[in-house]
Structure 1
């Protein structure tokens, strides 16, 4: 069965109530954030904003984290740049599998993969959320992230 689409306002309200496929967003993300601080050799915590700002730096740190740092030869031959290109939002969102396949969830529900891709731009939320929604989300974020040290740009 296909999941019935809901409005942005309904999805936003559910998100603010902590209702999402992986549980409350803050618990889910903070669990990984804290684990990455406790065991940085096992968990690499990346932020979309960092990846968009400095993709080459992030890809190089990912190689190091995985135990396969790029050699000077690989860097000079443009391997890092090619990986950034292949993993770009533009490339991934246009792959056949992401345009035509579906993601299966519990109870037989499915969602078209294309719905997981929007614009891939930092700050694009400003084009969708009202000032009231932003204020409410800022308050929730402040309350949930205050003691963690995890910050997201606004």
Structure 2
């Protein structure tokens, strides 16, 4: 695997990790702002001019097929990277206790994840093809068919790592961040070793971070309204923003679908000590 063979981790590396459609763009923005808060003025912040996808490079795209890592090698420390890869695919030189690399992971209710994935998949689908039906996509999701493996396995991999190595992996829940964004931002900053000072608290820096990184703020930035797509990234900036709501699944899933997903989730999480709520 290219990461094992070519990527050279640094002790200061920070990796934002998610299963797709769990709040990736939001978490990238929050962590980027937190670790760079002394470098930019709020009124002229990079998040007002660029999509978080362009500010936080993704593992899956930075390592070229020829093994070149020149782009990521040139990023000054601390490097902030992102990934959808399962925790088990990272080399031990990044995941064992001798490594100081840190991972910030966010999960989400699988029913909301599925609905978001279905909408996103149809946005990417060639116009000459018929849309993916909700039922067909639901069946695949329940069977664990995904670019990055079964959703539940992905979540449990990072959760178990966070239990075993709490100083290395911070595990967040989308619903918690939506409910208590200020507390979660402080928690992330503390985990990354850059807690907010009393002066920053007095200046309401945490509130500014939450405000600029909110779904409403980011989706209304001109750069994130762009529908243009590129050959190297067949996704427009606007594709990363839909609703960002908790519980929107009720508008799409039948009671039978919801019950089936809940049953699968219960079976997958049995005896693990983890739950989504």
The 1:138–1:38 alpha-carbon spacing in structure 2 relative to 1, beyond 3 Å, is: same
Question: What are the residue-to-residue correspondences of 1:70-89 with 2, within 5 Å?
Answer: 70-89=196-215
Distance in 2 (alpha carbons) for counterparts of 1:128 and 1:116 = 19
The reply on whether 1:115 has 2:244 as its aligned counterpart is: no
The 1:8–1:56 alpha-carbon spacing in structure 2 relative to 1, beyond 3 Å, is: same
Q: Decide which structure has greater helix share.
A: 1
The 1:82–1:99 alpha-carbon spacing in structure 2 relative to 1, beyond 3 Å, is: same
5+ long unaligned stretches in structure 1: none
The 1:103–1:80 alpha-carbon spacing in structure 2 relative to 1, beyond 3 Å, is: farther
Distance in 2 (alpha carbons) for counterparts of 1:27 and 1:102 = 31
Distance in 2 (alpha carbons) for counterparts of 1:102 and 1:47 = 30
5+ long unaligned stretches in structure 2: 1-123
- Please give the TM-score of this superposition, normalised by the length of structure 1: 0.86
Match of 1:137 in 2: 261
Match of 1:150 in 2: 274
Tell me how far 1:30 sits from its aligned partner: 0.8
| 8 Å contact from structure 1 (residues 3, 110) kept in 2 | no
Tell me how far 1:72 sits from its aligned partner: 1.1
Kindly provide the CA deviation profile for residues 35-90 of structure 1, in whole angstroms up to 9, marking residues without a partner as x: 11111111111111000110000000011001000011101111000000111111
Match of 2:144 in 1: 18
Distance in 2 (alpha carbons) for counterparts of 1:132 and 1:14 = 16
How many residues are matched?
Answer: 149
Match of 1:3 in 2: 125
Distance in 1 (alpha carbons) for counterparts of 2:148 and 2:249 = 21
Aligned-pair RMSD on alpha carbons?
2.1
| 8 Å contact from structure 1 (residues 60, 80) kept in 2 | yes
